[in-house]
Amino acid sequence: MDYSIACKMLENKLAILSALNISVEGDGEDKVSFNIFGSNKSIVIDKVKMREAITIQDAPVQERQALPEDSKQAELPTIDTTDLDEEGFLKAACEAIGTVTKTPQKTLDKESFIKVFKYTGEFAKFKN
């Protein structure tokens, strides 16, 4: 019964994604494609591989309790915007962000991304 419900739920979600998609040539029974809005790229999902990747287990997964250190993040300072112009804010944000580090795939690591995202949002609020 659980398997049937899980399969039906996945079918419904795939149907929703398909309905939201602009029609893409080449879709068939074994794959589905989605355009990435705002770019000239698309995503192709192999339905066969997706079915193989999903396994329904007969036993529940043993969950562990969350520990305080799991959610421990460094408290990022808020920039005092009193008497700051845009250039001053950007300078303070660069100092608060510090050295930006990247992963081997040349993307920002988690801590750098969080800092950049936080101060980008604060800059947007500052400008408004």
6-35 core/surface letters (b: 16 or more CB in 10 A; e: else): eeeeeeeeeeeeeeeeeeeeeeeeeebbbe
Q: H or E segment at 42?
A: strand 42-46
pTM of the shown model:
0.43
- Which pLDDT score, from 0 to 100, does residue 127 have? 80
pLDDT of 24 above 60: no
51: phi then psi, degrees, rounded to nearest 5: -65, -40
Separation in Å, CA 31 to CA 36, 37, 107:
16, 19, 29
CB 112 within 8 A of CB 100: yes
Percent of the chain residues past pLDDT 70, beyond the cut: 82
Upper half-sphere CA count for residue 107 (Cβ side, 13 Å): 4
Residue 119 burial (C-beta neighbours within 10 Å; 0-12, 13-18, 19+): buried
CB 14 within 8 A of CB 32: yes
Mean pLDDT of 76-98: 87
- Which pLDDT score, from 0 to 100, does residue 18 have? 61
- Which pLDDT score, from 0 to 100, does residue 125 have? 85
Please, what is the average pLDDT of the chain? 79
